[in-house]
Amino acid sequence: MPENFADRLIQAVKAKKTPTCVGIDPIYARLPAEITENRELNDESDSEVALDAVLEYCRRVIKIVAPLVPAVKINSAFFERYYWEGIEGYWDLIQEADQNGLIVIGDCKRSDIGSTAEMYARSALAEPDFNDMDSLTGPDAVTVVPYAGLDGVKPFIDIAREEQKGVFVWVRASNESSAIIQEVKLESGLTFAEHMAQQVDAWSRDSGLIGSTGYSTVGAVVAARDKDSTARLRELMPHCYFLVPGYGAQGGTADDIVPCFKPDGTGAIVTASRSVIYAYEDMKYIERFPSEWDKCIEQACKDFIADISKVVRIS
C-alpha cells in the first residue's frame, strides 16, 4: 500500500471505481424505527441510551456502504453531542470503518494557534501515543479551519507528514452565508476564497508532502458553487485533493462538481451525507423498499455513485 495519504486515497478510489465518500451525521430523531423501537434504545432523553442507538445505526451504515465507496467522513459534532461518551463512540466508529477497509476522514474542523493547535492535531489526527490507547487507530485524515493562518494548520501538516496522514483545509463552505466571508473581494482582485487557496497551495508544496501521483498530503474542503469560481480554485491548488461537500441534501448536483476534478478524473472526492444515510425517509426509496431502511441506504449510495459516474470517469 502506498504511504502518502493522497496516493492511498487515489488507490482506494480506483479500487472502488468511484470518487465518493459517505458522510456520517447521525441524529437520534431521524434514526430508523427498527432501531429506536427496540425497548432498550428507545429513550432520546437519556444520553447513553440515545448514543447506543446512534452507534448501532452508524455501525450498520458503515457495513452497508463499505463495499461501495472508498471513504467515510465521520462528523465529530454529532458525537460530541453525547459528551465524553460520544467521543468514545466516535473513536469506536473510526475503528469500525478502518476494519471495514475504508479511508476514514474525521470531520472535526479544529482551529487555533500555537500550542493549542498542536494539542488539537495530536488528539484529532495522530495515532494515539499513550500506552493504554495503543490498540486504537486514528483517522486517516481530518478537516481543519485556516482562520489563524499557517500556525493553526502546521501542527496538523507535521503530523500528517510524519504519520502519512491527510489534512483537508476548509477553503470554501457550502452554505449561503459563508459568501460574506469567502466571496468578499480583496484589494488584489481575488476573492477571499481564492486568496485562501493561494495559501493552501503554498502549504501543499512543502517538502515531503507530495506523493507519486502529484497530489499532496494537504488537501482542501471546497464546496462546488458556480462552475467558474470552482475552476479557479482547482487551478490555484493543483496539488490539493478536494473534499467536496454539499452534494444531495444541500442542493449540489453532479454537474456542479465537475470543475473540482482534473480531466483524468482525479483531484476530488465528493461527499453525500443526509441524502444517503436518511434515504429511508425519501418516498423514492420507501416505495421500492418499504420498511427496509438498510436497502434504502444501499440503493441511495449506489444512485449517488452512479450519478457521479455520469460526469467523472475513473480510469
Interface residues with its own copies (CB under 8 A) are 25, 27, 45-48, 50, 75, 77-78, 80-88, 91, 107, 109-117, 119-120, 122-124, 128, 130-133, 145-152, 170, 173-182, 184-189, 192, 195-196, 199, 250
Residue 89 Cβ vs its own copies, minimum distance, rounded to whole Å: 9
Helix (H) or strand (E) holding 277: helix 274-277
Q: Which is nearer to its own copies, 247 or 261 (CB)?
A: 247
Amino acid at 26: P
Cell 474525521 sits on residue: 106
Is 14 an active-site residue?
A: no
- Cβ proximity of 103 and 181 under 8 Å: no
- Cβ proximity of 19 and 265 under 8 Å: yes
105, β-bridge pairs = 73, 141
CA 261 from chain centre, in angstroms, equals: 16
Residue 112 Cβ vs its own copies, minimum distance, rounded to whole Å: 5
Q: Which is nearer to its own copies, 85 or 282 (CB)?
A: 85
CA angle 165/170/171 to nearest 5° reads 125
Q: Which is nearer to its own copies, 91 or 261 (CB)?
A: 91
Residue 131 Cβ vs its own copies, minimum distance, rounded to whole Å: 5
Torsion sign, CA atoms 273, 276, 280, 282: positive
Q: Which three cell numbers stand for residue 75?
A: 462528523
Q: What is the DSSP letter of 127?
A: P
- Please tell me the distance from the alpha carbon of residue 4 to that of residue 158, in angstroms, as a whole number: 13
- Please tell me the distance from the alpha carbon of residue 239 to that of residue 209, in angstroms, as a whole number: 10
Residues 6+ apart with CB under 8 A from 120: 110, 111, 112, 155, 156
Q: Which is nearer to its own copies, 119 or 231 (CB)?
A: 119
- Of 109, 154, 227, 302, the catalytic one is 109
Output the DSSP codes for 243-270.
Answer: EE--BGGG-B-HHHHGGGS-TTS-SEEE
Total residues belonging to the chain: 315
Residue 63 Cβ vs its own copies, minimum distance, rounded to whole Å: 23
Q: Which is nearer to its own copies, 80 or 235 (CB)?
A: 80
Residue 91 Cβ vs its own copies, minimum distance, rounded to whole Å: 7
Residue 287 Cβ vs its own copies, minimum distance, rounded to whole Å: 26
Catalytic residues: 109
